[in-house]
């Protein structure tokens, strides 16, 4: 049976989860760093369970890539990176690796390879048997990402860096390839899912006082390539109060206005409604376009 005390377990029990990783970096002139990374999370699926489930296949997720990091006192801060995630039967994996907004194998599969078919959501554990019947949890994700932050204070020679005007630009691109052959050829024919996801944006911040900053951020999210009907944008003005202590406490008042591609955007669970909608959320039929948040944080 599924263990109710294991969070985000997915549809198979989690066995032991092992991780090994390697990293190498080259630092030049104290402001340029080039690095490479390799991480491998795997499970031998040693958590055996009684028939008819039997023994699941081993699970594996390999992540490798490289990055270039620029921290120049005048030119600004820049980052460019590439990674590939190679996932093989990852449903039983725990959260030894959290990469591109995915934690456990079940969560990563849901985020990038598609939701589980309804036949699997009946509460029973089912184990893949043979090459044509598995949990649709295998594939690759290639990611390119960048970020650049330009600050005006070093250019004009200001000594108080907190009284600064800064401009940031950022973006991320994902290319997903996953074989789809759920439940064999009798139910869903074999095909290969290929999908591109793009996110980019920018942020302008100004600090008129040592303890106060204000700015605005823009995000554009395209979860299915160039399909405008499923893309959306977000505009977020914010005010940040921060201390002068070494620990750097922050209080952030943020408002976000979402601009959806069409009127069919639905709220996420548990607010997503069945048909017909059921109380107490039967009046929630569209995702909220306005979000106001107040956040406090501390950083050392």
At 58 the pLDDT is: 85
> Residue 99: what are its φ and ψ, rounded to 5°?
-135, 140
At 29, which helix (H) or strand (E)?
A: none
Dihedral sign, Cα of residue 96, residue 100, residue 102, residue 105:
negative
**Mean model confidence pLDDT for the chain:** 81
The answer to whether the CB of 69 falls within 8 A of the CB of 36 is no
Per-residue pLDDT reduced to its tens digit, 3-20: 545 556 666 777 788 999
Per-residue pLDDT reduced to its tens digit, 40-91: 999 887 766 555 455 667 899 999 999 999 999 888 999 999 999 999 988 8
At 94 the pLDDT is: 85
The answer to whether the CB of 163 falls within 8 A of the CB of 209 is yes
Distance CA 246, CA 125 (A): 51
Distance CA 181, CA 192 (A): 9
At 247, which helix (H) or strand (E)?
A: none
Number of separate helices (H) and strands (E) present in the chain = 2, 11
Cis peptide before 52 (omega within 30 of 0): yes
Extended beta strands in the chain, E state? 18-28, 32-43, 59-72, 76-88, 139-151, 165-180, 191-209, 212-222, 232-242, 249-260, 290-298
Distance CA 99, CA 80 (A): 16
DSSP 225: T
Distances (CA, A) of 60 to 18, 40, 85, 92: 10, 7, 10, 9
Res. 193 pLDDT band, cuts 50 70 90: confident
Residues paired with 87 in a beta bridge: 61, 139
Residue 245 has pLDDT above 80, yes or no: no
Distances (CA, A) of 125 to 49, 74, 255, 288, 291: 10, 57, 42, 35, 38
The answer to whether the CB of 8 falls within 8 A of the CB of 106 is yes
At 16 the pLDDT is: 83
């Amino acid at each position: 049976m599924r263990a109710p005390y294991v969070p985000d377990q997915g549809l198979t029990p989690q066995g032991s989860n092992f991780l090994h990783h390697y990293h190498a970096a080259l630092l030049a002139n104290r402001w340029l760093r080039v690095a490479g990374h390799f991480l491998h999370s795997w499970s031998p699926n040693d958590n055996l369970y009684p028939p008819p489930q039997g023994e699941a296949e081993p699970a594996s997720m390999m992540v490798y890539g490289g990055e270039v990091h620029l921290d120049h006192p005048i030119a600004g801060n820049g980052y460019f990176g590439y990674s590939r995630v190679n996932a093989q039967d990852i449903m039983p994996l725990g959260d030894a690796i959290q990469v591109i907004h995915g934690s456990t194998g079940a969560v990563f599969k849901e985020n990038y390879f598609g939701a589980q078919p309804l036949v699997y959501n009946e509460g029973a554990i089912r184990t893949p048997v043979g090459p044509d019947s598995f949990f649709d949890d295998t594939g690759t994700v290639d990611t390119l990402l960048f970020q650049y932050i330009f600050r005006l204070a070093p250019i004009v020679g200001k000594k108080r860096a907190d009284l600064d005007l800064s401009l940031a630009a950022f973006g991320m691109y994902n290319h997903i390839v996953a074989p789809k052959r759920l439940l064999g050829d009798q139910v869903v024919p074999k095909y290969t899912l290929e999908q591109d996801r793009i996110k980019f944006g920018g942020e302008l911040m100004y600090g008129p006082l040592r303890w106060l900053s204000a700015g605005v951020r823009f995000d554009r999210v395209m979860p299915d390539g160039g399909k405008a009907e499923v893309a959306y944008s977000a505009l977020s003005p914010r005010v940040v109060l921060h201390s002068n202590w070494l620990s750097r406490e922050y209080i952030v008042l943020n408002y976000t206005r979402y601009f959806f591609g069409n009127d069919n955007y639905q709220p996420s669970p548990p607010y997503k409604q069945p048909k017909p909608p059921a109380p107490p959320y039967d009046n929630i039929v569209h995702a909220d376009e306005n979000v106001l948040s107040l956040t406090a944080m501390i950083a050392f």
